[in-house]
A and B are shown apart, each in its own frame.
Chain A
Amino acid sequence: MTSTVDTARSAGTPPPAARPGARRRARRPLSETALPYLMLAPAVVVMLALLAWPALQVLAISFRKLDLGELVRGEIKWVGFDNYTSILTDPEFWVIGLRTLLFTITVVLATLLLGLGIAVLMRHLSGWVRGVLQVCLVLAWATPIIATTTVFQWIFDQQYGILNKTLVLIGFDSFKGYSWFTSGTSTLAVIGLLVIWQAVPFIAFTLYAGLVNTPSDLYEAAAIDGASGWSAFRAVSWPSVRPLLTLVTFLSVLWDFKVFTQVWAIRQGGPDGESTTLPVLLYLRGIAASHFGVSAAVAVLMLVVLVAVTWRYMRLLVRSPETEL
């Protein structure tokens, strides 16, 4: 077990601080070796006990028949791959899976573009305008989901919604009594807007936090060098934002793929099941029907899809931990 100061950054010219590291390596007292483990311990314990362990149980449950009765009586019924075959042989699953992927990609792209744009904008805004924008973003983020989903339904209501009323007022008479929920695509578009609206503040704040960490003298240097806005961004901001951007992309993919409450609240996956996504399927087939084995199997399949989608990123992280994020 070795513990050294990470010197990857200053490879080439050994900095003076390399010496304390070398000295430490020579002595290797127990406290030094144990230090990283002690520091990691609280996080490891919580994550193992409350995330990894239940996740492994979900995996185990996906091979069981676990309905309400089995759960209450504590019975174990192994059914092998039955839960998986029942899901995978249903042609609907593949349609829903593809739809969920497309929905995720669209929402993630839109969220990231908007979030990055706002983060950069915040850096260039004068004090009070930035303050106003930040407060509005936090309000959007902090508003409880039960309120936002309801408000979105009202805004888009076909008779009384402010959107249709406004469109009619400014001359688009065809929107009188227009229904925004007639097809799965339009329903998903409204849901997507709701998800984007709620997710952008987080992305914008995280990226902004990365941007303000870029020393402003670097910008000044770039400006003196005559760099225009875009090339200054490429040269100065991009390197400090890129790792965070990769991180929030990864997280957005995970979150948007798993989003349930908003999809469910708007139209329960309707009309005619056309806005049903995988989490809705998990809820309907598994939890509402109390077939927890089936819901576990859907969860595992979702996990497989997520791993497949984020595989490159995860492998990069695990294989070469020294690379920048």
Chain B
Amino acid sequence: MRSWSKAMVGGFAVALAVAGCAGSGSGNDTGGQTSAPSGPRTLTVWLMNGSAPTVLTDGLHKEFQDSHKDVTVKYEIQQWNGIQDKLTTALASNDAPDVIEIGNTQAPKFASENVLEDLTANVGDFNGANWLSALKESGSWDGKQYAIPFYAANREVLYRKDLFEQAGITAPPTSREEWLAAIGKLKTKFGSDPDFQALYLPGQNWYTLLSFIWDEGGDIAKKDGTKFTATLDSPEAKAALDFYKKLVEESGTKAPKDADEQTPEQAGIYGGGKVAMFIGLPWEVGTAAKSDPSIKDKTSAFPIPSKTAGKTAPVFQGGSNLAIPANSKDKDLARDYLKLIASDKYQGEFAKVGMIPGTSKDVSALEADPVNAAMAKASVNGRAVPATPGWATIEAGQNPIKDLLTAFLTGAKPVDQATKDANETLNKAFSG
């Protein structure tokens, strides 16, 4: 036993020495603007599963390789599961990818850690004047731009045209009052069916709560330089909670109060045909259509109504950013690539498949489809969550805003206690 513990201590000392060196293999030789190497080059591009349509990447990579004869684009589609771990290790490797896509709520973490190339000087090259402000915000840290917008989407109210018509609702609601009135009419008409829900709204659809908070004039947190302080205990946030509760109560939704829109998948329930409205993303219609193909033609959308009649409520804009890892071996080439992908030509492909382009103001392709048009209309008022590295933890799970909603809706905690607790947890996450 004694000899063993001696060996252990010895081993520990060696480990300390070597663990000290671990990781030093990368980075040192790759930094800086080295002159472009001659001969055949490879540009490694990592985009996420299902993000850029194939039409976009096929055309883009052909054009890029035609204009860079010696370059091969190595395009690798990444899975969402475990992407954090994969990006972390890839960025630390001596063989880092040259262009990566990162979710916009993850972007601040990467930007603040100084592991991405500073792109501030190139904003103009990447269509900078036309950027979506929410995504610009998530890619910047301390006044510098580390990631550029790629594409985004925001939530809207998807509804059944046929049911609205039968209930005598002539035009989609444009204010909270009209929205509640529509719910009332739908219930009068279809309420006798026990499975009918005028609005499907799970207790933890926190993106919707964000819309209401912003609409009240409040916010999740106050920004001061790179510091954030949570403001979920503000009167605006409490008013937003009250309206959320009102929607849940008025609509008689059977959705669970302790789960979000994914468990179970709300689009699947909408596809079942007994739901008149839900708050979701445009492509969720496609998911619903897998259950019932005819539902696509019966569905339209309107922006989440504001408390001010005629306006639309601000919406959370979720999407992706593009960045160049600091360990990329060919950053100039990566810049050329970003320049091309940020051009109107390729950004237009996003609009065609129902997403909001990140670096182009041209959303005309979205107007053709009413579901996409409603999203485009609301997107003008797009907002972002606090651009702080601490947000990555909240996004990973244990979101205090979800817990706040459940506690408030089930009556487990009085509103003051619930908001105070959520505020504290949020502040803790911001500081960690």
Contact = CB atoms under 8 A, between A and B. Distances in A.
Does a CB–CB distance below 8 Å link A and B in the complex? Answer: yes
Interface in B375-432: 389-390, 392-393, 396-398, 402-403, 406-407, 410, 432
Interface stretch (A19-27, A35-43, A235-243, A281-289): A281-289
Nearest to B11: A56
Given A68-B115, A69-B114, A74 B23 contact: yes
A268 interface: yes
A71 interface: yes
B115 A69 contact: yes
B432 A268 contact: no
B113 A290 contact: yes
Given A68-B110, A72-B92, A177-B254, A272 B396 contact: no
A159 interface: yes
A74 B26 contact: yes
B121 interface: no
A72 B84 contact: no
Given A56-B12, A68-B91, A319-B1, A159 B256 contact: yes
A179 interface: yes
A318 interface: yes
A72 B91 contact: yes
B55 interface: no
Interface residues of A, number: 47
A203 B207 CA distance: 44
Interface residues of B, number: 49
A273 B15 contact: no
A290 B389 CA distance: 10
B27 interface: yes
B155 interface: no
A229 interface: no
Contact of B432 (A56, A60, A264, A285): A285
A288 B84 CA distance: 7
A145 B35 CA distance: 48
A243 B389 CA distance: 50
Nearest to B393: A289
B109 A68 contact: yes
Nearest to B115: A72
B396 A288 contact: yes
A159 B264 CA distance: 9
Contacts of A276: 398
A69 B25 CA distance: 14
Given A179-B256, A270-B398, A291-B432, A160 B264 contact: yes
A157 interface: yes
A287 B12 CA distance: 24
A270 B257 CA distance: 13
Contacts of B16: 60
B27 A73 contact: yes
Interface of B: 1, 4, 11-12, 15-16, 18-20, 22-28, 84-85, 88, 91-92, 109-110, 113-115, 254-259, 263-264, 326-327, 389-390, 392-393, 396-398, 402-403, 406-407, 410, 432
24 contacts: A56-B12, A60-B16, A60-B19, A61-B19, A64-B19, A68-B110, A72-B92, A72-B326, A73-B114, A73-B115, A76-B20, A154-B264, A158-B256, A158-B259, A159-B254, A159-B255, A268-B397, A270-B403, A271-B258, A271-B406, A273-B403, A287-B85, A290-B88, A291-B432
Given A71-B88, A74-B23, 6 more contacts: A57-B19, A68-B91, A74-B28, A76-B20, A288-B84, A289-B392
Top 10 A-B pairs ranked by shortest CB distance? A268-B397, A288-B396, A56-B15, A60-B19, A69-B113, A74-B24, A74-B23, A68-B113, A72-B115, A57-B19
